[in-house]
Amino acid sequence: MLAKLLRLKVEEPDTTIVQERINEMYRQFFRRTADYFFEMEKEDILDELESDELSVTEQQAMIQMLSELLYQDGLIKKDITDTTMNSGRKLHRMNLSLFKVNIMAK
């Protein structure tokens, strides 16, 4: 599943589609939303994963999957934030340019 997500991330330029897929994986495998994992303490998350009736190998696989999901989710959110900030900077520079043009025209 993670391999498909990583492939989608490379192939799909629309980060909202990738984010939706990440959110689906949180719900499908952990029956929780992403916010739950971002708000909880790591010890509580590990306790919860260990309390399930899973073998040690299965617990380790779930922990690895969750850490990769959190990592990919963080990268997507950073990309979205960077894109928004870059757009804001461009608009700010455009406004400054227009302001300078208006002043020079007077």
Look at residue 1 in the predicted model and tell me its pLDDT. 67
Side-chain-side CA neighbours of 70 within 13 Å: the count stands at 16
Measured between alpha carbons, how far is 63 from 42 in angstroms, rounded to an integer? 11
pLDDT per residue as tens digits for the range 37-89: 888 888 888 888 876 578 888 888 888 888 888 888 888 877 655 554 444 45
Element housing 86 (H / E)? helix 56-105
What pTM did the predictor assign?
A: 0.66
- Would you place residue 106 in the very low, low, confident or very high pLDDT band (cuts 50, 70, 90)? low
Looking up tokens 């870059």 gives 86
Highest mean pLDDT among 9-13, 26-30, 78-82, 95-99: 26-30
| Contact yes or no for 38/54 (Cβ under 8 A) | no
